[in-house]
Structures are given as C-alpha cells and as structure tokens.
Chains A and B, each alone.
Chain A
Amino acid sequence: MTKQEAQEYMIVPCGINGEMNIPYSWGAGDFVGKALEELRDNGKIYANKCPQCGRFHLPPRKVCGRCHVEMEGRENWIEVGPKGTVLMFTVTVTPFLEPETGKPRQVPYTVATIQLDGAPAAFEHYLKETDPEKLKVGMRVEAVLKPKEQRRGDVRDIIQFRTIEK
C-alpha cells in the first residue's frame, strides 16, 4: 500500500476507543495496615526505624530496602507529627487525569514533602495553602484529620496540612 493510498484511507483514521476501568483492592499488610489503623482509631501518625542504618520509613514498612533488615518490634516504631516542616512543595495548576478516578483533580492544589516533628521522617501530602506567595520551604504545618467517624484507614484520613505559626 503506497503512502499516498495509506493517506487516502486515513480519511477516517479508524480509532478504536478502549477505556480501561479495572478495580483493585491492595492489601496494606502488617506494617502499613497497622499504621493506617492507628491513624483511623487514634489519629496518630507512626514511622518506623531500621535498627541497622537508623533511617526512618514513613509510613512504616517491614524491610529496610537498603539493609534488607526487618524492622520488627515496637521499639522501632515512633510517633511523629502531627506538626511538621515543609521541605519541598509544588503547586499543580495544569490538571491531569488521576488514574484512580479517571478524572482530573480540582486545581490548583499543593503537594509538599513534609518532615514531621519527632523523627527525621518525611512523606508527601496535600497542603491547604495554594497561593505560591504564601508557600515557603521551612514553613510550619499541621495535619488536619477527618472526623473520627469518617475515617476509613486510608492515608487520606489526613485531609491536608494547614499552615501554622512557629
């Protein structure tokens, strides 16, 4: 088929629409599961420490990826937050499709890497503040949790982090 003929049949480049919509139910396991239970029931945020390299994992995990050592046992768990310091942030203004819903998330919204008080452990979460002028590395923030009865043991039981004074 010559290129020209191929073009001719491109009058309608027959495109086949195929939407993927597959449900999943991921098991949280013993460690993330426990941490999410604590968040749901007691509103507490936990990290756990590798006994060998001392680095903190947030949310907690069973094995340290660097040392291949189990982080079993209560002495490796430490409560962190709810207050913390923003290390890095980014304000999303151009919406993109969220795979979980197939729809874009409402913009603008801010995602920040937050180091929580109590241990050198950081994770990403939403910030309430979306005005770039009011966002600064080093600013202090605090977790805002859903009311207890609305929590379902998901990392989004924390709605977002709001700005607080020092």
Chain B
Amino acid sequence: MDEKVGIIAVAQTKYEECKEGVDLSEMIYEVVKEVQEKTGLKFTEDGTGIDSTVTCSQDLWDGRTISGEWAADVAGAHLRPEEKVAGDGVSGVAYALMQILSGHYDIVLVTAYRRESITNGRLVEWMSVDPIFHRMLGLDFRSAAALQARRYMYKYGITPEQCAKVVVKSHKNAKNNPYAQAPKDLSLEDVFSSPILSSPIRALDAKPVSDGACALILAREEKAKKFTDKPVWIKGIGDCYDVHFLGDRDLADCDSLMGAAKQAYRMAGIENPVKEIDVAEISEEYSYQELLWSEGLGFCGRGEGGKLLDQGITKMTGEMPINPSGGSLVGNPSTVAGAARVVEAVLQLKGEAGARQVPNAKTALVHGIDGVCGQVHHVMILGI
C-alpha cells in the first residue's frame, strides 16, 4: 500500500452476558461518544471531522431489517455516508481502510455492535446455513463446529486436554482485562466436567452469549498525526471465502484462513509470523479453533496447533502471546469479536493494555471469522 492509514482512537464497552434493558442505539452511542471525546472529532462535511461511518451488524441478529438504522442517529448518518458491512468487525475495519485509500474520505468511524442476549443465537445461525440441504436437518454453527472439532482432533491427534488448556489460558489472561465478561479461575477438570453440548464440545469449550460494542476511528496519515502521537498503522489485510457445504471440504483443513493470511503477510512483508508478530488477537468461538487457526495462520505446521500450545509459545510469557485479552471464549458477541480484537491489538501497540500488556509489542495480528465452521476469515496486520 502506497499510503499509510492509522487507527487513531478505539473504545469498547464492558462485555456482559446480558445488558438487561439496554437500547442498542444507546450502547453504540457509549463507544462512539468515547472515541469522539478522545479525538475531539465531530461529524462534519467540510473535511475537518469524521467523513464517513461504517457499521458492522446483521439484520437477523438484531431483529431488524437494515439494522444499521440503530446506529444511524448516533453514528452521524444524517445527510452523510453510512454503509453497513454485514460481517465481522475486522472486515469492517478493512472496508474503512479501503474507503480512505480510495481517496473519497480522510477520516472514517467504524462501529460494531450486538446484543446476543436478545435472541436465540442458535436459530440465527440456523438461518445462516444452506436452506435446501442443511437447514431442514436443523444444523446450526454449534453442531457444525462439533463436526469440525471431531474431524480435526481425529486427523491430527489433538487431545481434549489441549483444547481445555486453551479455555484455561483464555480465562487466566482475561483476569487482567477489565472489559472481559466474568473470567473464572478454571482447571482442566472444570472444563471436562462442564455439561456436554454437542460431542466433543462442552459448555466451557464454547463462547458464551455476550452483549457489547466497539468503535474505532481510522485516519489518513497526515491527519492521523494531528490526533494522536502514536497512530497504529494498518500494514496488511486479507479476506478469504471457503466452500459452504460442510462436506465440500475436509473440516480439519483451513484453506481460506491460509489464503487470508497469505494476502495480509504479503502486503505487510511478513515471512516468519511467529518471529515477526509480537502479539496475536484471534477470533475463536470454540476452544479447538485457537489451535486450528494457529495452523492456518502459519504459526506452526499442519497438525501442530496442540504442540505449539504445549510449548508455551502462545502463553502471556511466550514468544508470541495469543489473546492476552482472553478473546471470545471468555465473552464477545460475534461480529463485535473481530472489532474487539482490533481494539485490543491497538491498546497493546500503544502500550495502554494495562495488566495484560505484552512488553514492547511493535507488530500485531488480528483475525475475524464469519460463517459456519470458519468459512470466511479476515486477517489484518497492525504496527507502529
């Protein structure tokens, strides 16, 4: 990329299992107001303020067609551009980057929001699978992920202990994250004794229901420096689709994640991810996914996700910590999860991650997912 675009301000709500009675607009306004106050930026049309807004939400999750209308009034849509990415927050930030690089806008606000607690997420996921061959079977993302977990653990000998260790590690990290959703002190035994949902996935292996929102402001290089002395630059992006039908691919593979990672690494000039990336915030909705995504991101060879974890490389004190924030496993709403990863990576690179700070982190990887069994992956490289 010839021009540099930086993230100049980020905000996130506390993630909670249910923000009872909270109106979506007011939740969005909480984070939009925070990033506006951090930068003093208003919604203007003369180029002195925020030029455009990108929202990330999905109609069926919010129970409203054009669910971007909830954000319109509080995110400056009146007589201004507001476009909705019906996908993950990382995809929304990448889209805002393209809006700026296209030359049409200098400063773009991105906001991702969801209250999963207002509906039955499994039914929304059920409506996200093929209506003719999958939906009549009652498939949802959870039972599909169980099929992926089984296949992956069978094909590469990944052990239940390794999956449980991901849960324990995530909750341990999240203890240092004030935004995290009720992290617990867990043992492997706790994970094994939590109720079975869809074998081999148990309750603690799965991401909990969560409510929350994020907001970020991106700016072109010249303008970025006016608002923060430490803008976080976007160095590389990559998105990639895989096939949809579960049987069309070996669920133990992750071709689309490899494709997305390849694009982002090529753009950011990264050859050896584990060496060059100081911290990674990746989106996993189930414990096995941290191991499988690690392989897809090239942190280790195929089938070595468990070994990478056992070697402690991805621990807080390891060579390349994964999810110092605790990640979605502790509690992030889907779609917001990607934006939360970007927010956390920005805090790490700006040295504002408090107790969960990875010392002198210079380059971070963030990752988001969409669709069944991680059908679509979004990868982004950030750096200072």
Q: Contact: B73 with A27, CB < 8 Å?
A: no
Is B132 in contact with chain A by the CB < 8 A criterion? yes
Closest A residue to B26 by beta carbon equals A29
- B127-157 contacts to A, CB under 8 A, are 127, 131-132, 135-136
B326 to chain A, nearest CB (A): 25
Instruction: Name the B residues within 8 Å of A29 (CB-CB).
Output: 21-23, 25-26
Instruction: Name the B residues within 8 Å of A61 (CB-CB).
Output: 25, 73
A25 to chain B, nearest CB (A): 5
Instruction: Name the A residues within 8 Å of B73 (CB-CB).
Output: 61, 63-65
B interface residues, Cβ below 8 angstroms from A = 19-26, 29, 42-43, 60, 63, 72-74, 76-78, 115, 117-120, 123-124, 127, 131-132, 135-136
Instruction: Name the A residues within 8 Å of B42 (CB-CB).
Output: 68
Q: Contact: A27 with B119, CB < 8 Å?
A: no
Of A3-11, A14-22, A132-140, A156-164, which stretch is located at the interface?
Answer: A14-22
Can you report 23 residue pairs joining A to B where beta carbons are below 8 Å apart?
A22-B60, A22-B123, A23-B119, A23-B120, A26-B63, A26-B118, A27-B21, A27-B22, A27-B24, A27-B115, A27-B118, A29-B25, A30-B26, A61-B25, A61-B73, A62-B29, A62-B74, A63-B25, A63-B73, A65-B73, A65-B77, A68-B43, A68-B74
A91 to chain B, nearest CB (A): 25
Instruction: Name the A residues within 8 Å of B21 (CB-CB).
Output: 27-29, 33
B79 to chain A, nearest CB (A): 8
Binary interface profile of A, 27-54, with partner B (CB < 8 Å = 1, else 0)?
Answer: 1111111000000000000000000000
A22-B120, A62-B26, A63-B74 given. 15 additional CB < 8 A pairs?
Answer: A20-B127, A21-B123, A25-B119, A26-B24, A26-B63, A27-B24, A29-B21, A29-B23, A29-B25, A61-B25, A62-B23, A62-B25, A63-B73, A65-B73, A65-B78
Q: Size range of the interface on A?
A: 20 to 34
Instruction: Name the B residues within 8 Å of A30 (CB-CB).
Output: 23, 26
Q: Contact: A24 with B23, CB < 8 Å?
A: no
Q: Contact: B78 with A33, CB < 8 Å?
A: no
Instruction: Name the A residues within 8 Å of B120 (CB-CB).
Output: 22-23
B226 to chain A, nearest CB (A): 21
Query: Complex: how many Å from CA A68 to CA B29?
Result: 10
B332 to chain A, nearest CB (A): 18
Is A66 in contact with chain B by the CB < 8 A criterion? yes
Q: Contact: B25 with A33, CB < 8 Å?
A: no
Closest A residue to B42 by beta carbon equals A68
Instruction: Name the B residues within 8 Å of A28 (CB-CB).
Output: 21, 23
